[in-house]
Structure 1
Amino acid sequence: MDLEFNALIHNNTWRLVDRTPDMNVVRCKWVFRTKRKADGTVERHKARLVPKGFTQVAGQDFFETFRPIVKPTTVRLLLSLAVSWGWTIRQLDVHNAFLNGNLSETVYMRQPPGYEDKARTDFVCSLQRSLYGLKQAPRAWFDRLRAFLVSVGFSPSNTDVYLFIYSRDSVCLYLLVYVDDILVMGSDATRVRRLLTDLASEFKIRDMGAPSFFLGIETVSRDGGLFLSQQRYMQDILTRAGMVDCKSMATPIPVSRPVPDSVAPYADPMQYRSHLGTLQHLTVTHPDLSFAVNRICQHMHSPTTEHWAMLKRVLGYVKGTLHFGLFIRLSSSLVVHAFSDSDWAGDPNDRKFTSGFAVFLGGNLISWSWQKQRTVARSSTEADLSAS
């Protein structure tokens, strides 16, 4: 706590001002977290001062909000290029990233619990920098990072604004942003090191070397390629669901028609939605789960006992595929191949169809999706045409 508080003071995060009756003063608290490595061992313990953003007033304390999250397809595409072309890849961690954001709004916060100024206990903090917990904090951090990257020659991508591209003198550098985690890769190792030096001069960063654990995904070098695994995350899912010792299933979903709607509703819909949320992130490296997760997600608004049984079957499949992952191999060809398919009138309840696609870059799968369509196809040809 002392280290975090001293960092906040050193960063001029706030200044104490007199409290007035018209102020909306945001409360705050200390949050403690244990950071773990890819193998689950403890890396460090961290304390963080977090404002209670739910007490902010829209239009007064904040306006625009968003989170800088690069698309998974972008990550897989660039990793495929990096492996195929032998690029240098570095993973960076920005220390207290949100503290680097400058607030354009006026936000008042109570003094940190346990660190109140005894001479001015009735004063409040007028925030100069953003903090974790503020609704506009991710935007403020990203605005500053983007301004810096543009100043050193990077340009944001037109298709993914959280991807920045540097292309000069036959040198290509790519920088991907996922909140406060950054991946840097490029064709010139010297230029990559120079970029890390520039970033270190502006922000407090930690060079973690070649990526090993990024976005909850373990990255393992194997046979000249990269194996992306979420084994630890899968074990956490099973633990959370109380199914660590469940029976393994060979398939994620039975090859049968969807269950009818006229069955008993499930008693705890929030539990159903919570487990579905964890499974959706698992599809980042598990295309084999995409269809099953899409099907059970269609019933989040009113799950039944049969839908819960389907979800438990998916969890049983997760138990049997803990060692599965996505392998990105060295590919001599970078030709794009796309495949699509659909099931005509696959849902007997509303006669709508589900379509899906898979996109390969050379021999690497980089994008996939399954989606239930909103319209009814009058023939299998029309369904296939809509899917493509």
Structure 2
Amino acid sequence: MYQPDGFVDQDKPDYMCKLTKALYGLKQALRAWFDTFSNFLIDFGFVCSTSDPSLFTYSRDNNFMVLLLYVDDILLIGNTVGILQKLVDALSERFSMKDMETPTYFLGIEMQTLPDGVFLHQTAYVKEILHAAAMSDCNPMPTPLPQRIEEMDTTLFEDPTYFRSLAGTATFGMYIKKSSDLTLMAYCDSDWSGCPETRRSTTGFCTILGSNLVSWSAKRQETVSRSSTEAEYRALA
């Protein structure tokens, strides 16, 4: 690290500081922290997911844990209290951490625990957006745009940021139910040349694990399909 302006040693202006650890706020700090924490988890017995490097799983002697790491926020679940407490104690000895007990808020998502599952929603985040736009007392709209626009007015909206963010879905969320059924299903569909300008089709899909929706998407296809069958095959692929 070079000597910062205003603190240069006049006798040794070419000297640099050799860091023994990463400084908070520097680009390499996050990488150094992740390496340190992930190595600790791996030594404990966790395995890092190949599809999501922030997801770690532990399975040993009928004990199972799942840990999700996002910078310095952690979500942890397990099938026995003993193994969870063992990990929490080990983490507390190695790092300065605080156990927040049952999660209620994580990365802008509120978690409401119910007898037969968990309800995830972003009501507080939506209210923050409404407050920032000075529209907390405005009447909500179900959707700001029609599903298809055939003729568009050429007059551009002055500030489309708020317009794209505000809809009457503040209380909407995702309900994840407890279920022993772990059947994985996927559904897909497509229109054909739905865009009147580019003639490209739109693909939609959703993935369901048991009775719970886990992923979904709706986006324009990258190329023009010459038939509805081709558009459907692209969606399936």
- How many Å apart are 1:352 and its aligned residue? 0.8
Aligned partner (choices 226, 234, 245) of residue 118 of structure 2:
226
Name the amino acid aligned to 1:173. M
**Secondary structure of the corresponding residue to residue 88 of structure 2:** helix
Q: Structure 1 residues 236, 258: CA separation in 2 closer, same or farther (over 3 Å shift)?
A: farther
Task: Map Cα deviations across residues 215-262 of structure 1 (whole Å, 9 max, x no partner).
Answer: 1111111232111121110011122233323332123531323655x8
**Secondary structure of the corresponding residue to residue 228 of structure 1:** strand
More helix by share: 1
1:383 partnered with 2:227: no
5+ residue gaps, structure 1, are: 1-106, 117-121, 276-310
Distance in 2 of aligned mates of 1:170 and 1:199: 21
1:236 partnered with 2:84: no
Could you say which residue in structure 1 is the equivalent of 2:221? Answer: 373
Task: Map Cα deviations across residues 95-148 of structure 1 (whole Å, 9 max, x no partner).
Answer: xxxxxxxxxxxx24649x9xx9xxxxx998654332332111111110111111
Higher RCO (Cα < 8 Å, 6 or more apart): 1
Q: Structure 1 residues 375, 197: CA separation in 2 closer, same or farther (over 3 Å shift)?
A: same
**How is 1:230-309 mapped onto 2 (pairs within 5 angstroms)?**
230-257=122-149, 260=152, 263-265=154-156, 272=160, 275=161
Could you say which residue in structure 2 is the equivalent of 1:153? Answer: 45
What TM-score does the superposition give when structure 2 sets the normalisation length? 0.86
Task: Map Cα deviations across residues 308-352 of structure 1 (whole Å, 9 max, x no partner).
Answer: xxx62x5442xx221111111112311112111122111111101
After TM superposition, the structure 1 stretch with the greater mean CA deviation from structure 2, 122-131 or 358-367, is 122-131
Task: Map Cα deviations across residues 233-292 of structure 1 (whole Å, 9 max, x no partner).
Answer: 0011122233323332123531323655x824555xxx64xx4xxxxxxxxxxxxxxxxx
What TM-score does the superposition give when structure 1 sets the normalisation length? 0.54
Distance in 2 of aligned mates of 1:199 and 1:345: 54
Distance in 1 of aligned mates of 2:38 and 2:135: 43
1:184 partnered with 2:76: yes
**How is 1:314-325 mapped onto 2 (pairs within 5 angstroms)?**
314-317=164-167, 320-325=168-173
Could you say which residue in structure 1 is the equivalent of 2:10? Answer: none
Q: Is the 8 Å Cα contact of residues 247 and 316 (structure 1) preserved in structure 2?
A: no
**Secondary structure of the corresponding residue to residue 216 of structure 2:** strand
Name the amino acid aligned to 1:198. A
**Secondary structure of the corresponding residue to residue 198 of structure 1:** helix
RMSD: 2.5
1:144 partnered with 2:36: yes
- How many Å apart are 1:385 and its aligned residue? 1.3
1:129 partnered with 2:16: no
Q: Is the 8 Å Cα contact of residues 257 and 348 (structure 1) preserved in structure 2?
A: no
Name the amino acid aligned to 1:239. H
Aligned partner (choices 344, 358, 372) of residue 206 of structure 2:
358
5+ residue gaps, structure 2, are: 8-12
Q: Is the 8 Å Cα contact of residues 175 and 183 (structure 1) preserved in structure 2?
A: yes
Could you say which residue in structure 2 is the equivalent of 1:295? Answer: none
Could you say which residue in structure 2 is the equivalent of 1:331? Answer: 179
**Secondary structure of the corresponding residue to residue 27 of structure 2:** coil
